[in-house]
Structure 1
């Protein structure tokens, strides 16, 4: 590729995706700009239009493109390409497979799957998003993808798939997705954990047992309806940013944990403490690992250097110290070292299999 697309595949590789040749070819072939014809939102909140000089160079960067905003909250996007690549590789796509995609987004992810030889049914709960994705796929000349408007909780009744892939954050997996899998099939989904959405490879019969292994850290827009229904074991969400923090415990990591190791610590914290969450902290661009108190406005924040900051809750400082001690004593395990077990929970009329127990393998 030349021009703005020239470095695109290499950017995806630098983002952590060890692309096999067929997936590299799909990223090189499918025109991403066809899926954002109305432009997208920058990280600073401004809008990039197709006529803007930086439009193509931004489209062909390893970055998320937000395409729909509701009351300043992003509700649809084209995900970061390197994350898309990692998820597609974990899906183990082969020619001839049938894939159910939950969350159509712009249609770009389905186009990549189709370029690998799969046939896709993509479902989105937002009708306008489904309409635009359908038009984008036609504009790009992509076949073997059908986009439907509907609630993805039920999957696609009466059908059978080799893979189910969710591209929105969910609280758990409906039994229907597992029931619609062909023998040997799997679900790939970003499942809520400590305020983030690590991607899991999930398998099991619709009546259980259901188990999973983590693939990578991620953050996704939330699905609507029973896919994110509250349940007794759900992690808490913060009531807002955490202000007026004071340091309670000094740093213990020198150098500080890099982003990957910090996410590994974060995953372990969620496995060991159900108060773990994701909180905005003044002065820090990225959210931080936090153990939230019962008010969800305070608790203890663990920074990448291992220092602990608090709004004044000594009990949560002690809990944070124990998380750090335990993770260090275990040899700083990666999130991929965990095995996850699920329990059937959520809305009794529309239950989900949600993560319930974690063991280091």
Structure 2
């Protein structure tokens, strides 16, 4: 085969670039279609538990946020094809990225407003924080595994989620420097509701947290603090989360 001229080489490289861009575009369309299908599945599952949660449809803002966040970016490349399955997936270090329906449900129960400051306990892959960042003014997220903190921070920065601030620490004790919070979400299960988190919840605020041991039933618990500071709890749906670890 004769050597290509400079112009031929440029044309060849341009053709390769176009093919690559076309492939990325097709892939993006495929992921968008999978997200839409996932939203439909979340809607169906919401109706199944409507009696437990007191509503048959989640807030449209929450569903829009779920539709925007590219879940495949929050799992390893070998899991991209199943990233939009409605189930948890491993992210390493004994942790998982939560089932999308549970992410949507917990987010909905917080009733996040655009000017809210939200505390998340358990950054994991950063996916839940990204969903919250679509809704809130600021998200503070704590992860106990340093490697996961680093990976989630780099990922969130790369994807443009500048509203999220992360740190490594024991989430049981919250983040008092930034308290009080309008909403708190906990993505690992303690055996009881941590008192420091209740203290850091703003009057009128809400917290959603799975409570129970790893080998016994766990339930999502909604914690509401009245404007006068009175705390009320309500058990929602059964769940299964990894345990909340730390020195507490």
Output the TM-score relative to the length of structure 1.
0.53
Distance, in Å, in 1 between the alignment partners of 2:110 and 2:128 is: 12
2:91 match = 67
Question: Residue 158 of structure 1: SS of its match in structure 2?
Answer: helix
Post-superposition offset of 1:100: 0.7
Post-superposition offset of 1:121: 0.5
Distance, in Å, in 2 between the alignment partners of 1:101 and 1:196 is: 23
2:17 match = none
Question: Residue 198 of structure 1: SS of its match in structure 2?
Answer: strand
CA contact (8 A) 1:154 1:177 kept: yes
Question: Residue 200 of structure 1: SS of its match in structure 2?
Answer: strand
Question: Residue 11 of structure 1: SS of its match in structure 2?
Answer: helix
Question: Residue 196 of structure 2: SS of its match in structure 1?
Answer: helix
1:5 match = 32
Distance, in Å, in 1 between the alignment partners of 2:63 and 2:32 is: 13
Output the TM-score relative to the length of structure 2.
0.76
2:182 match = 162
Q: How does 1:97-246 map to 2 (within 5 A)?
A: 97-159=116-178, 160-192=180-212, 195-203=216-224, 210-226=231-247
Post-superposition offset of 1:4: 4.0
When residues 65 and 118 of structure 1 are mapped into structure 2, their CA distance, relative to the original with a 3 A threshold, is farther
Note the alpha carbon deviations across 1:166-195, whole angstroms, 9 max, x for none. 000111122221221222112210000681
Question: Residue 13 of structure 1: SS of its match in structure 2?
Answer: helix
Distance, in Å, in 2 between the alignment partners of 1:4 and 1:144 is: 24
CA contact (8 A) 1:120 1:144 kept: yes
Note the alpha carbon deviations across 1:77-107, whole angstroms, 9 max, x for none. 1100011111111111111101110000110
CA contact (8 A) 1:93 1:118 kept: no
Task: Select 2:71's aligned residue among 29, 32, 41.
Answer: 32
Post-superposition offset of 1:165: 0.9
Question: Residue 106 of structure 1: SS of its match in structure 2?
Answer: coil
More helix by share: 2
Between the two proteins, the alignment pairs up a number of residues equal to 205
Distance, in Å, in 2 between the alignment partners of 1:96 and 1:135 is: 25
Distance, in Å, in 1 between the alignment partners of 2:140 and 2:225 is: 22
Post-superposition offset of 1:210: 4.8
Distance, in Å, in 1 between the alignment partners of 2:136 and 2:117 is: 9
CA contact (8 A) 1:30 1:140 kept: no
